[in-house]
Amino acid sequence: MRTAFYVSDGTAITAEVFGHALLTMFPAEFAHVTIPFVENPDLALQVKNRINDCYKTTGLKPLVFHTFVDEGLRQLISDSDGVCYDFLNTLVEPVQKELGMAPVPKTHRTHSMHEKTYDFRIDAVNYALANDDGANMKNFSHADIILVGVSRSGKTPTSLYLALQYGIKAANYPFVEEDMAKLRLPAELAAHKAKLFGLTITAERLSQIRQQRRPNSRYASVHQCALELKEVEQLYLKEQIPFINSTQLSIEEISAKIISRTGLKRQKY
């Protein structure tokens, strides 16, 4: 099996995202090794030796995805026996030409707390935690968005992802039987109707998820799930609440669709 190294003088997250996107295009398995914070020549030499050892041991040249700001460190890694993909540098020149300005080398530029939006993201995480699952409905006025749906339809992980990744303050509220039976929004939600976004899901998938929580319960039965979902979907239509079906979607996909549909302002790019 071929080994892929992701190496950087920062978190190596950019190298990972890029290398992963590239390698998943090929029908092969890889062994993955991430080495972040390679911040001095000693560490870079250790990494170079590790790459060379990997080549000696496996007989296959490792693929090395790296993002170094420091030219000397970059050169040390590029001199290894791995096949190096320096994708940032590959594209710096054309962008430089287009913008008519030179790049300014600086480490920890991305994924650092010095990004100006970092505090928004931490505040948003604290907000999402404090306003999960219908807690503190009086705080809804501070929400950027309020996700609604039946229990276990994906509201909590999506709220946390929106907060952590984009600094969006997402509250969430699980409809209870009374809301659904009466096809009525509770007053606290009705007061912030423009912020509501609904999630739905198929009854079969919801039942699977609920089974893990309370096996063989009425709560987890396909019948009960179907009933609740039918009612909330009617409520969404009646109240003109935008909604998406999350059955086949990851939290990244749900979040991207919500932002795209609502035009929510993100605190991070």
Interacting residues with a copy of itself between 209 and 268 (CB under 8 A): 248-253, 256-257, 259-260, 266
Window 51 to 90, contacts with a copy of itself (CB under 8 A)? 61, 63, 67, 83, 85, 87-88, 90
Counting contacts by CB under 8 A, is residue 151 touching a copy of itself? no
How many residues bind a copy of itself (CB under 8 A)? The answer is 73
Residue 96 CB, nearest distance to a copy of itself (Å)?
8
Residue 76 vs 256, nearer CB to a copy of itself: 256
Q: Exactly one of 42, 57, 94, 178 binds a copy of itself (CB under 8 A); which one? A: 94
Residue 21 CB, nearest distance to a copy of itself (Å)?
4
Q: Exactly one of 70, 118, 226, 245 binds a copy of itself (CB under 8 A); which one? A: 118
Helices (H), the chain: 13-23, 41-58, 71-78, 87-99, 118-130, 155-166, 177-181, 187-190, 203-213, 222-239, 251-262
Annotated binding site for ADP: 149-156
Counting contacts by CB under 8 A, is residue 41 touching a copy of itself? no
Q: Among 163, 247, 232, which Cα is nearest to 198's?
A: 232
Counting contacts by CB under 8 A, is residue 36 touching a copy of itself? yes
Q: What is the distance of C-alpha 65 from the center of its chain? A: 21
Per-residue 3-state assignment (H helix, E strand, C coil) for 60-91? CCCEEEEECCCHHHHHHHHCCCCEEECHHHHH
Largest Cα separation within the chain, whole Å, is: 70
Cβ atoms of 244 and 191 within 8 Å: the answer is no
The pair of structure tokens assigned to 243 is: 């909604």
Among the residue ranges 30-38, 142-150, 171-179, 195-203, the one whose residues contact a copy of itself (CB under 8 A): 30-38
